[in-house]
Structure 1
Amino acid sequence: MVAVRRRTLKVLTFLLLLIFLTSFFLNYSHTAVPAAWFPKQMVLELSENLRKLLRPRPCTCARCVSQQGLSAWFDQRFNQTPPPLLNAHNALLDEDTYQWWLKLQREKKPNSLNDTIKELFSVVPGNVDPLLEKRLVGCRRCAVVGNSGNLKESSYGPEIDSHDFVLRMNKAPTAGFEADVGSKTTHHLVYPESFRELAENVSMVLVPFKITDLQWVVSAKTTGTISHTYVPVPSKIKVKQDKILVYHPAFIKYVFDSWLQGHGRYPSTGILSVIFSMHICDEVDLYGFGADSKGNWHHYWENNPSAGAFRKTGVHDADFESNVTATLAAINKIRIFKGR
């Protein structure tokens, strides 16, 4: 270990000396006779390569999704300031975010957000780390598993389960489909109308599109009085309180503003899962997104002829969201596995 440290120190010392000499020759070339034996262009390129080499990496993976300076398109959109998860310390929304969020599903008489937040964190933990205790050094790998029928006969199961975090969404089952979709789930994103019961070791991530959604969590763990929003919803849920997380409304707006550029009325659970994973993981792999190889939009667990209807409602701009994920893959920020 000592020998490794000494060798590393020698390499760094050499690089620093080289940078110093590079800077000296560049300055000298402006004030004295150019050195023909050390072309200026070569010095510039060498200096730039050294800067890239010494630039700190945000993780130890082969590719780090949050690394800046590789794509101007990505750097303009990726912002580490908005918190992915709501907790008692970051629950205050600015007025623009609050007014935008209130309009998503246009509640007629919304309750006080402050009162609802206070009640919420009297039921579920209010001190959740917004980065899920992500460390600065390491390689955390995420699999984001969509619900597309292209997962059928894909045999992706073992590969999906090999990831540190496996995110699923809405009503997606795993029982009976393990060979293609895997059996491991660490986080499951839902809203009240898409809820399904989860295994004991799975964290539920509530995506709140309205104040009623936050009230529903409180009700579902206490009185059970909310059984209907705009459709019937479970009045009680078995998810343990310490396994309930809440997607931050400000993060929803960040996805809408920065990544979707205002397309659609608000983001789908799919794109919310993708951008969320890019903030909590170092490598991100997508499975089960998009149509199957025949162009059909349906879920892997059912043959539903109307499963692609969401693309025509105008609520979500599925084509624009698909372009975002395709661009992320093209610049090597994520990988997309298209199945069959």
Structure 2
Amino acid sequence: MSRVSNYLRGLGLLALHFRAFDFSLLKGKRVAIVGPADSAYSTGLGEYIDGFDFVVRVNRAPYIVATGKSKVDIGTRTDILFHSFHENDESGGGILDFEMYKKQSLKYLINPRNNKAGIQMTFNFYKKYPVSQKVFTLPKKLHQLVCEPLDEFRPTIGYLALMSLLHSAFSELYITGFTFYKTDFGAGYRDHIKTKEAAKDFIKKVGVHDIDKEYNSFLAAFKTIDSSKITLDPVLFRIIQNEGIVKR
């Protein structure tokens, strides 16, 4: 297929299938978000996670789920996937594998960056893959709201996923596997930068993210939300307890 044909096909699929995600779908729902940090492992809470109305994961996480090795800890479903649409394994989200996603009951695939660069990535996806696959992004105002505290830095996909959920009308939110690089990655996620030191060095070298700003933004948002509706895994609980925010 010619370059012009790819361009036109991508443009048509983008217009047909690319939409802002409707977060009202989460209103009154029990939502679990499972990040890549090691705090999600050695918990035995996989069945508990699978019991939520929606299970949310980030980037390469479905590959870990697919192995089945950690299902006792992180469960088996991926209802909502936030993905960077960078398909490299080193720093992106890995190959978009729709057969794998189908086995995990994926309902919504979200490229959350609602800006020129993010939309370009989705356009490139539609040029590459001739599929009628719905792809969602964050509503423009929500994207601006969660990105504003980061100034000129690019948000990580995990940050966008976590913060957008905090601003939704869930009935219950369980957060695990997010430690803002204060602990290591879980095994199999990014083994080439598994330790927190290696991950921080990599982020510093790339120079587009500011994890401290993301952490402070999360803390500020957490203060404004009814904490009785949110359950943190023990590691994240201890991290923010040291900030004097949670008392129980």
Give me the TM-score of the superposition, normalised by structure 1. 0.50
1:325 aligns with 2:215: no
Q: Supply the distance in 2 between the matched residues of 1:281 and 1:174 (Cα, whole angstroms).
A: 27
1:247 aligns with 2:138: yes
Q: Supply the distance in 1 between the matched residues of 2:9 and 2:168 (Cα, whole angstroms).
A: 27
* Structural RMSD (CA): 3.2
Q: Which residue of 2 aligns with 1:182?
A: 75
Deviations 1:20-39 (A, max 9, x none): xxxxxxxxxxxxxxxxxxxx
TM-superposed CA distance for 1:170, in Å, is: 0.6
Instruction: Say which structure, 1 or 2, has more relative contact order (CA 8 Å, 6+ apart).
Output: 2
Superposed, 1:1-340 pairs within 5 Å as: 119-124=12-17, 130-133=22-25, 139-172=28-61, 173-175=64-66, 176=68, 177-193=70-86, 194-195=93-94, 196-197=96-97, 198-200=100-102, 201-202=105-106, 203-208=108-113, 209-222=117-130, 241-242=133-134, 244-257=135-148, 260=149, 262=151, 265-282=153-170, 283-290=172-179, 296-302=183-189, 303-305=191-193, 306-312=198-204, 313-329=206-222, 332=227, 334-339=230-235
Structure 2 counterpart of 1:205, which letter? I
* 1:189–1:205 CA contact under 8 A, matched in 2: yes
Alpha-carbon distance change, 321 to 261 in structure 1, aligned in 2, over 3 angstroms: closer
* 2:30–2:173 CA contact under 8 A, matched in 1: yes
How many residue pairs match? The answer is: 200
Structure 1 counterpart of 2:23, which letter? L
Alpha-carbon distance change, 156 to 291 in structure 1, aligned in 2, over 3 angstroms: farther
Q: Supply the distance in 2 between the matched residues of 1:270 and 1:336 (Cα, whole angstroms).
A: 16
State which structure, 1 or 2, has the greater radius of gyration over its C-alpha atoms.
1
* 1:190–1:207 CA contact under 8 A, matched in 2: yes
TM-superposed CA distance for 1:309, in Å, is: 3.4
Q: Supply the distance in 2 between the matched residues of 1:191 and 1:121 (Cα, whole angstroms).
A: 16
Deviations 1:57-110 (A, max 9, x none): xxxxxxxxxxxxxxxxxxxxxxxxxxxxxxxxxxxxxxxxxxxxxxxxxxxxxx
TM-superposed CA distance for 1:188, in Å, is: 0.3
Q: Supply the distance in 2 between the matched residues of 1:280 and 1:291 (Cα, whole angstroms).
A: 21
**Structure 1 unaligned blocks of 5 or more:** 1-114, 223-237
TM-superposed CA distance for 1:132, in Å, is: 4.8
**Structure 2 unaligned blocks of 5 or more:** 1-7, 87-92, 237-248
Structure 2 counterpart of 1:213, which letter? M
Q: Supply the distance in 2 between the matched residues of 1:118 and 1:189 (Cα, whole angstroms).
A: 22
Identity level (%):
21
Q: Supply the distance in 2 between the matched residues of 1:131 and 1:119 (Cα, whole angstroms).
A: 25
Q: Supply the distance in 1 between the matched residues of 2:174 and 2:78 (Cα, whole angstroms).
A: 14
Q: Supply the distance in 2 between the matched residues of 1:218 and 1:204 (Cα, whole angstroms).
A: 13
